Amino acid sequence: MVRTKVGYAGGTTEFPTYYNIGDHAETIQIEFDENQISYETLLGIFWENHNPTAMVKRQYMSAIFYNSEDQKAIAERSLEETKKKFRSKPVRTEIAPAGKFYDAEDYHQKYILRQQRGIFKSLNLSDEQVKSSPMASKLTGFFGGYGGSETLEKMINLWDLNDHQKTLIRRFVKNQGCNGMYCSF
């Protein structure tokens, strides 16, 4: 994963907001490097981390928005495999072209990272940098319990951080524990 942004997609309402989402769904846009992680692996993570049979409002719908015909075919195959696991319940996940993606409001971007106010403030990132920074995306994952200390150690020295920031980040990740997938402590 290179970077992520949260926002709105899948609808026709122009310039949706959190309070006026229209017919869009809340979604995440993921930029990834196929040499590091495959689209299939990302879809596996998607399926493992939510209930695709839940009946929810469109705002919270289960959806995969694809950017190419190859992605569409892979997503459709993964949907068929998922349906086999949920034979007694209908899988409600929609597969649709990506279309227009609207960024969510700045205060929604990297929300988990922003909650660590001392660390976040010390990073001195502009709102645009929060959305575009691979470091901010990865720190959000670590702070959410994904990745673990071993993975963090492989990355932390690649970032332009001072020793105090590194200490705070290491301490938080260690104390956070491992609530997500692929943790290694």
Q: Which pTM does this prediction carry?
A: 0.85
pLDDT at 181 over 70: no
Which of 103, 126, 157 lies at the terminal end of a domain, its last residue?
103
- 113 with 97, same domain? no
The pLDDT of residue 184:
43
Spatial strand order in the sheet of 25-31: 25-31, 3-9, 102-103
| Mean pLDDT for the chain overall | 91
Asked if the structure places residue 181 within a domain, the reply is no
Asked if the structure places residue 184 within a domain, the reply is no
The pLDDT of residue 145:
85
Structural domain boundaries enclosing 48: 3-103
